[in-house]
């Protein structure tokens, strides 16, 4: 179950790759981006088998915090390297760093 491969996952990956540097996206947003075909939990499943080239570190939960998954330290380090600030409680201000995607053209990249 390390590397799930499915059509649904590819969509999640494609959206994650569109997240610009210095911005973050939540699981719930990704769920919306794929038009509800994937629940937040499904997104988590997709990222569990995410390819190494995927910027999965830009995906955080609705609270703006990093969910435990293996090495949250690396994720935080990468985000900080992109200019994302963390609060004292380890949370990100989604109002400032949350990515607002445009689902104009491609809902299915």
Partner DNA sequence: CCATTGACGAAGA
Partner DNA sequence: TTCTTCGCCAATG
By CB under 7 A, name the binding residues for DNA: 1, 4, 6, 8-9, 26-28, 31, 37-45, 47-48, 50, 56, 59, 61-63, 67-70
Q: Which two tokens stand for residue 44?
A: 């988590």
Least spacing, CB of residue 76 vs DNA, in Å: 12
Cβ-based nearer residue to DNA, 7 or 104: 7
Please, which residue, 17 or 63, has the CB nearer to DNA? 63
Q: What is the DSSP string of 24-81?
A: BEEHHHHHHHTTTSS-HHHHHHHHHT--TTS-GGGEE-TTSBPPPSS-HHHHHHHHHH
Reduced to 3 states, what is the DSSP secondary structure of residue 104? coil
Beta carbon nearer to DNA, 1 or 104: 1
Question: Closest separation between CB of residue 7 and DNA, Å?
Answer: 8
Would you say 41 or 81 has its CB closer to DNA?
A: 41
For residue 74, CA distances in Å to 29, 55, 108 come to 23, 12, 30
Q: Note whether 11 and 37 are within 8 A (CB).
A: yes
Closest distance of CB 80 from DNA, Å: 16
- From the CB of 83, what's the least distance to DNA, in Å? 20
């Amino acid at each position: 179950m390390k590397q799930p491969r499915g059509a649904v996952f590819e969509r999640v990956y494609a959206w994650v790759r569109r997240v610009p540097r210095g911005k973050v996206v939540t699981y719930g947003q990704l769920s919306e981006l794929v038009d509800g075909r994937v629940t937040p939990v499904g997104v988590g499943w997709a990222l569990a088998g995410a390819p190494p080239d995927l910027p999965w570190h830009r995906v955080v939960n609705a609270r703006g915090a990093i969910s435990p998954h293996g090495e949250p330290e690396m994720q935080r380090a990468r985000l900080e390297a992109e200019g994302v600030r963390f609060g004292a409680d380890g949370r990100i201000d989604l109002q400032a760093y949350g990515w607002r995607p445009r689902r104009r053209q491609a809902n299915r990249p």
